[in-house]
């Protein structure tokens, strides 16, 4: 998969995943926790709210107040979700 194909990946509604159309920060975080778990998130993005007594609520408070951390979380979501969508498309071919 090339970087350009990842950036052009579209969700089931046809929206570009990288545009985060209609996706809340809570949905992004819940998706990533379900996909990687808290330990996996901490391994990918070193933020204390993922390592020390993690919860969706406390992480959302931190991410909403910390633009650089939110950007990293959104970037990980876009990459992960894009790979997931593209691999599903390739399976159906």
The 10s digit of each residue's pLDDT in 21-76 is 788 999 999 999 999 999 999 999 999 999 999 999 999 999 999 999 999 999 99
pLDDT at position 35: 96
Is the Cα dihedral 74, 11, 88, 28 positive or negative? Answer: positive
Exposed (0-12), middle (13-18) or buried (19+): which is 90, by Cβ within 10 Å? exposed
Residue 30 confidence (pLDDT) = 97
pLDDT of residue 73: 97
Tell me the whole-structure pTM to 2 decimals. Answer: 0.84
Which domains, and CATH codes, for the chain?
24-92 (1.10.720.30)
Name the band, by pLDDT with cuts 50, 70 and 90, for residue 87: confident
């Amino acid at each position: 998969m090339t970087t350009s194909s990842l950036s052009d990946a579209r969700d089931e509604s046809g929206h570009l995943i990288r545009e985060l159309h209609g996706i809340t920060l809570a949905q992004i975080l819940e998706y990533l926790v379900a996909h990687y778990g808290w330990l996996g998130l901490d391994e990918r993005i070193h933020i204390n709210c993922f390592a020390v007594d993690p919860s969706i609520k406390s992480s959302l408070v931190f991410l909403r107040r910390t633009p650089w951390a939110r950007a990293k979380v959104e970037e990980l979501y876009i990459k992960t979700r894009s790979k997931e969508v593209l691999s599903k498309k390739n399976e159906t071919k």
